[in-house]
Amino acid sequence: MTTKRVLGFAILGVGVLALIGYFLFRFRIFQASPQATLTVPITNCKPDPEPVPVHYQDQVIWVGDPNYTITFADPPFTSITSGVPFPVQHASGGVKALVQLGCYIKYVVGATCDYKYSILGGSGCPNDPHVIITP
């Protein structure tokens, strides 16, 4: 009886691992390098486009006045540190793997994956821009 139960759990475990592997492959989750680069110009503290639409394998480069810096409280990108301002012309890196998975789950249930950031400039920027991540 115990042997059948162990065998049943082993088969179930292999099935679950195969399903996880399929989704990782199908949606390219955990892909190391970005596929496309989206350039977002900032003029008078306003990014264009707003919001910035990002797919899983994209990275973003904000361009504009070199006095601008950008800060994410909770960054979705691999080469941006939480709460640390970075200058424009800095590539964001790809979308983090766990963010991809979370955004996919939100996408399936009809929610958006929205990440707010701040633009700081010479005279201050009062806007509240954000990045929306989609599959």
Domain segments of the chain as ranges: 1-30, 33-134
Model pLDDT for residues 55-91, shown as the tens digit of each residue:
877 888 998 888 888 888 888 888 888 888 888 888 8
Using alpha carbons only, how large is the chain's radius of gyration in Å?
19
Separation of alpha carbons 99 and 106, rounded Å: 10
Q: What is the topology classification, in CATH, of domain 33-134?
A: Immunoglobulin-like (2.60.40)
Is the pTM higher than 0.85? no
Spatial contact of 80 and 62, defined as CB atoms under 8 Å apart: no
